[in-house]
Amino acid sequence: MSPQEEIIALTAELNRHNYNYYMLDAPVISDYEFDQLLRKLQDLEVQYPQFVQPDSPTLRVGGTVTKKFESVAHRYPMLSLGNTYSEEELLEFDNRIKSIVNQDIEYACELKYDGLAISIWYENGLMTRAVTRGDGTKGDDVTANVRTIKSVPLRLQGSGYPDFFEVRGEILMTFARFEALNKEREDIGEPPFANPRNAASGTLKLQESAEVARRGLDFRLYYVMGENLADTTHYDSIRRLKDWGFRVPDVLEKVSGISQVIDFMHKWDVERKQLDFPIDGIVIKVNRFDLQQQLGMTAKNPRWAIAYKFKAEKMSTPLLSIDYQVGRTGIVTPVANLQPVPLAGTIVKRATLHNADVMAALDIREGDSLFVEKGGEIIPKIVGVDLDKRLPDAHPVAFVTHCPECGAELRRNEDEAGIFCPNEMHCPPQIKGKLEHFIGRKAMNLDSLGEGKVEILYDCGLVKNIADFYDLTFNQLLGIEKRFPAEDGKPERVVSFREKTVENILAGIAQSKQVPFERVLFAIGIRYVGETTAKKLARFFKNIDALSAATREELMEVNDVGDRVADSIISYFNNPENLEIVIRLRKAGLQFEIAEDEGVVSSDELQGKSVVVSGVFTISRDDIKKMIEQHGGKNVSSISKNTDFVLAGEKMGPEKRKKAEALGVPIISEEEFYKMIGAI
């Protein structure tokens, strides 16, 4: 089989497995087997980029960097829906419809997803473009980012689809992904997103598609548009999309008359609490397309559809006290302890106040009652103060000035929302947080140390920093036991370090010495260095020595590393205690450099040549740089008289172009580069 045939076959096979997993929820191979096939395809595509298929599953991983989103005109206006919050207005909507068409109406009822509206174009069976709503006439081209969303088909299945049509829907984030993302952000000192909608919207506008892919957005469709659609109703047109490889809505009902619409609305006002994704209402559409055409549009809204928006459930409850919790990076988060109140099916007793700025904006005072809301969100949110219940002469609640755990004076950096404890090496919750972060699945993956065992080791004085894990012995661990009291409805539990438990812990610690450098770098817990940034730093500097010796300017050569991240890295390596921990980890055998097989040379075509990469390419810049190294070249960050050539993609930096031309350094295109290394 030729490389081209193998790439085509692997692409088709992986897309079939993606469909089974994401559309049918019926995988037929393991995640490991899928990853092995994907890695094989990625390697082939790096060697033979001219054969990459437009529906390649590697596009789901991202890699494109978009400096500016192009404005694109919608083929059909992308109007918003009129909203209502009352049954009376639903009845008025129904009466207006019947007065125009003079007949009973069949409606299609569906959920109103709380995300970002998107129009996705398909031409000759391939996904070609994705455009945000924008002003309804023009939107932003976010195709590279939408390609990473696994519930968006890149190539259609079956037959009978028009040469061109649009599928419209919402880009959203599930509650589970939202909570995980906010935890990651708080871990590195970033402010959390207010709700899943904001998280989805912010993610879709990121300039780097690899980060979009990592965050795990979802797509839920709600409409199809085109000139030659086979069906005559909205309901049937949506159902037909399933034959073409789309995941169609689970909730879509045909109903006769407005009374059944109201029944649907009442049902989902209750059942929405069981969903794993955010909705804020229901949408009612006239089902027949010919009646939709007859009813037409206003300047802003279609006359044949309306959205009924659920009222957010909100309760007033007394503020009992405020706890100040210290996280892994020292950020102090205020948490309101509330008089328990039933809200959206659960009893709410606590809700975060996020930071000092939020507390000040709410103007919380001693003895206040606070309004708590859940609405379509899963996490309780303080939305205001019940001023009717405010006590006369109530004093404002002041944010604490010293760490509630270690007593250190708190600090706040300019342009940052978070107030933090600077005593990172000796503040107990920061130490515990660093230990728990280190053993995490995306870090060292020491799952045998879960279930409170880290806390026990810390309380026993056996582990005070991450390097101490590698000094643990069998005799130290055997027989340790701790009893955790019952709380929040959970029964009492006892954690014991028996022989098998200890063996598993020590085996896991030994195995972690094989974890690659990029994950070790993430695991050591440098403030603001998340999983993605750690990967970029590891691939750029190759080893811990080069990274620790890097200047601020050198650090900022790495994509997405700005002033704050660079200063944090320098501060970390300037701390003698951190350096001592790194030395101990190194002596223990952890990986502090890129593995040799990541730098395997495929040829010597670029042997001894220094190359500067600038611009946007058909594949990721990381893959371009990897190819340069595989063919003997060296990636350098700045142009000098010693630079052999500049590899220029689209939107090459004008200053770099000017400097290259002034120094007489050759500038070659991506295609010329592939010819140079024999890829085409």
The pLDDT score that the predictor gives to residue 189 is 62
Residue 377 has pLDDT above 60, yes or no: no
- Distance (Å, rounded) from C-alpha 35 to C-alpha 1? 21
Residue 22 has pLDDT above 80, yes or no: no
Residue 642 has pLDDT above 90, yes or no: no
Which one of the listed residues 40, 67, 98, 112 is annotated catalytic? 112
- The DSSP secondary-structure symbol of 446 reads -
Which of the two residues, 664 and 184, has the higher pLDDT score? 664
The pLDDT score that the predictor gives to residue 489 is 60
Least confident of 39-48, 346-355, 374-383, 452-461: 374-383
- Distance (Å, rounded) from C-alpha 36 to C-alpha 399? 51
Amino acid letter, 567: D
Residue 601 has pLDDT above 60, yes or no: no
Measured in degrees and rounded to the nearest 5, phi and psi for residue 283 equal -120, 135
The pLDDT score that the predictor gives to residue 536 is 87
Q: Please name the residue that has the structure tokens 């010597």.
A: 604
> Quick one: tokens of 293?
């055409």
- Distance (Å, rounded) from C-alpha 617 to C-alpha 384? 48
User: How much is the pTM?
Assistant: 0.60
- Distance (Å, rounded) from C-alpha 543 to C-alpha 186? 27
Half-sphere exposure of 277 (CA within 13 A, CB side): 19
Q: 62, 285 in Cβ contact below 8 A?
A: no
Which range, 121-125, 133-137, 193-197, has the best average confidence (pLDDT)? 121-125
Q: Is 329 exposed, middle or buried (0-12, 13-18, 19+ CB in 10 A)?
A: buried
Torsion of CA 147, 149, 150, 154, to 10 degrees: -20
- Distance (Å, rounded) from C-alpha 421 to C-alpha 332? 7
Query: Looking at residues 103-122, what average pLDDT do you find?
Result: 95
- Distance (Å, rounded) from C-alpha 457 to C-alpha 469? 9
Residue 550 CB coordination number (10 Å): 21
Q: 120, 241 in Cβ contact below 8 A?
A: no
Report pLDDT digits (tens) over 606-622.
887 889 998 888 777 76
Q: 90, 282 in Cβ contact below 8 A?
A: no
Residue 43 has pLDDT above 70, yes or no: yes
Please give the mean pLDDT across all residues of the chain. Answer: 88
Report pLDDT digits (tens) over 290-310.
999 999 988 788 999 999 998
Report pLDDT digits (tens) over 336-347.
999 999 886 678
Contacts of 316 (CB under 8 A, 6+ apart): 369, 370, 371, 372, 386, 389
Band of the pLDDT at 207, cuts 50, 70, 90?
confident
The DSSP bridge partners found for residue 213 are none
What element of type H or E holds 310?
A: none
Query: Looking at residues 255-263, what average pLDDT do you find?
Result: 95
Report pLDDT digits (tens) over 354-364.
889 999 999 99
Residue 150 has pLDDT above 50, yes or no: yes
The pLDDT score that the predictor gives to residue 623 is 75
Strand pairing class (634-635; 610-614)? parallel
- Residue 466 CA, distance from chain mean position: 27
Contacts of 380 (CB under 8 A, 6+ apart): 343, 348, 350, 351, 372, 373, 374
**For the chain, percent of residues with pLDDT exceeding 90:** 53
Residue 297 CB coordination number (10 Å): 13
Contacts of 340 (CB under 8 A, 6+ apart): 317, 347, 348, 349
Query: Looking at residues 153-158, what average pLDDT do you find?
Result: 92
Report pLDDT digits (tens) over 493-513.
777 888 998 999 999 999 999
Residue 430 has pLDDT above 90, yes or no: yes
Closest Cα to residue 69, out of 197, 168, 207? 207
Which of the two residues, 621 and 141, has the higher pLDDT score? 141
Band of the pLDDT at 329, cuts 50, 70, 90?
confident
- Distance (Å, rounded) from C-alpha 497 to C-alpha 475? 11
Residue 455 has pLDDT above 70, yes or no: yes
Residue 655 CB coordination number (10 Å): 10
Residue 228 has pLDDT above 90, yes or no: no
- Distance (Å, rounded) from C-alpha 118 to C-alpha 146? 9
Which range, 227-231, 407-411, 616-620, 653-657, has the best average confidence (pLDDT)? 407-411
The pLDDT score that the predictor gives to residue 296 is 92
The pLDDT score that the predictor gives to residue 599 is 45
Which domains does the chain possess? 3-61 (1.10.287.610), 71-309 (3.30.470.30), 314-412 (2.40.50.140), 428-514 (1.10.150.20), 517-596 (1.10.150.20), 600-676 (3.40.50.10190)
Least confident of 54-63, 454-463, 535-544: 54-63
Which of the two residues, 25 and 528, has the higher pLDDT score? 528
Band of the pLDDT at 265, cuts 50, 70, 90?
very high
Closest Cα to residue 459, out of 481, 487, 485? 481
The pLDDT score that the predictor gives to residue 273 is 79
Residue 638 has pLDDT above 80, yes or no: no
- Distance (Å, rounded) from C-alpha 221 to C-alpha 170? 6
- Distance (Å, rounded) from C-alpha 367 to C-alpha 393? 10
Query: Looking at residues 159-172, what average pLDDT do you find?
Result: 94
Residue 482 has pLDDT above 60, yes or no: yes
Q: Is 287 exposed, middle or buried (0-12, 13-18, 19+ CB in 10 A)?
A: buried
The pLDDT score that the predictor gives to residue 374 is 75
Is 112 a known active-site residue? yes
Contacts of 579 (CB under 8 A, 6+ apart): 548, 573
- Distance (Å, rounded) from C-alpha 304 to C-alpha 87? 17
